[in-house]
Amino acid sequence: EVKLVESGGGVVRPGGSLRLSCTASGFIFDDYDMNWVRQVPGKGLEWVSRITWTGSTRYSDSVRGRFTVSRDEAEKAVYLQMDTLGAEDSAVYFCARDNLDTNLKIYYGLDVWGLGTTVIVAS
């Protein structure tokens, strides 16, 4: 079964740090780009970050300089290190597989999602 499981969410004080993890199973992790997407309860989806299968990273303007995405092929995991957290970072954080075939020029979408992990930034 193709699966993503996020962990690491919790309550943290403003200015604090948190590290989220996403563990993959059921597919060849090395072959795929991975994304983090967040959602404030009751609001829409916000793309946060991407790490490609080659290790290249991209961030949204709202988190660049504060968040760092990384991956560990041996662990089949992707991580999101979140620093200098503010109340605006409180959200459910989803990990999603990003399926792009650059040779065929076909974008298969964010085709696998985890259930999410909740981050609350509060004093």
**Contacting residues toward other proteins, per CB under 8 A:** 35, 37, 44-47, 50, 58-60, 94, 96, 98-100, 105-111, 113-116
**What are the DSSP calls for 80-113, one per residue?**
EEE-S--GGG-EEEEEEEEEEETTTTEEEEEEEE
Question: Which is nearer to other proteins, 32 or 59 (by Cβ)?
Answer: 59
Between 83 and 113, CB nearer to other proteins:
113
The smaller minimum CB distance to other proteins, of residues 15 and 36, is found at 36
**Rounded-to-integer distance, Cα 100 and Cα 105, Å:** 7
Backbone angles phi, psi at 66, to 5 degrees: -115, -30
The CB-of-123 to other proteins minimum distance in angstroms stands at 27
